[in-house]
Amino acid sequence: MVVASVKTTETKAGPVILRIGLSDGSLFSLNSVYLPHPFQGEDYFCPNKEITPEEETALRFAADCFRAERAALQLVARAEQTRAGITRKLEQRGHALSPVRAAVSYLTDLEIVDDRRFAERWIQSRLYRGTDSPFRLITALCQKGISQTIAKSACKTILDFEKETALLQKYIAKKYPPSVNSVRQDRFLKPQLKREGFSPQALDWYWETQ
């Protein structure tokens, strides 16, 4: 197998996009970052170069990664994505798992896909639309494929004292009727709210202001 043609395109973001044609009529478009390091030089695949089966396999894999990358960018252009979510969507669109993982890892390195950013924006949106407790916010993010560590950190970042106390008031007003007496509050409500993830500081503030 021989390289028949090579076209190189520089992008604004930095990676080199190669369009490589082989003597059997195969044509590959790929981001050079997906090639093994020894094959990444711009002049490595030059016209009339005879390539080995290993090099052909590398070209095919890199081309698959590039197709997954372009599909991923289309999804990101529509809405913020999580690593787990975009991986699942690309697989559902027929992309093989190994190229998908490579493409998603690359986009994560570029911070185009960012689980923490997704988590913070999602929590922020929920504060305006719902009355979920911190525990329920974290649980919902974990169900979306966000790690518990990132979910907890994002929740802590977004829920400063002012936002947490406002959420606490809304949560109590929705979940528990005003008729709940103070004795029951001490015995039931406060421990329950602790389990829902509200901080001791927010709970102390609420009881001191009632």
Architecture of domain 3-109: Orthogonal Bundle (1.10)
Give the model's pLDDT for residue 12: 65
Q: Which amino acid is at 3?
A: V
Number of helical (H) and strand (E) elements in the chain, helices listed first: 10, 3
First-last CA distance in the chain: 80
Higher pLDDT, 15 or 77: 77
Above 90 in pLDDT, residue 154?
yes
Name the band, by pLDDT with cuts 50, 70 and 90, for residue 109. very high
Interval 67-94: pLDDT, tens: 999 999 999 999 999 999 999 999 999 9
Provide mean pLDDT across the span 141-163: 95
Above 60 in pLDDT, residue 181?
no
CA dist 133 → 36, 120, 125, 159, 166 (Å): 47, 15, 14, 11, 11
Above 90 in pLDDT, residue 18?
no
Name the band, by pLDDT with cuts 50, 70 and 90, for residue 100. very high
On whether the pTM is more than 0.85, the answer is no
Above 90 in pLDDT, residue 13?
no
Above 70 in pLDDT, residue 33?
yes
Q: How many CB atoms lie within 10 A of CB 174?
A: 10
Provide mean pLDDT across the span 108-133: 92
Name the band, by pLDDT with cuts 50, 70 and 90, for residue 106. very high
CA distance 79 to 72: 11
Q: Are 62 and 28 in contact (CB under 8 A)?
A: yes
Name the band, by pLDDT with cuts 50, 70 and 90, for residue 183. very low
Most confident of 1-10, 11-20, 41-50, 105-114: 105-114
* Residue extent(s) of CATH 1.10.10 domains in the chain: 3-109
Q: Are 139 and 201 in contact (CB under 8 A)?
A: no
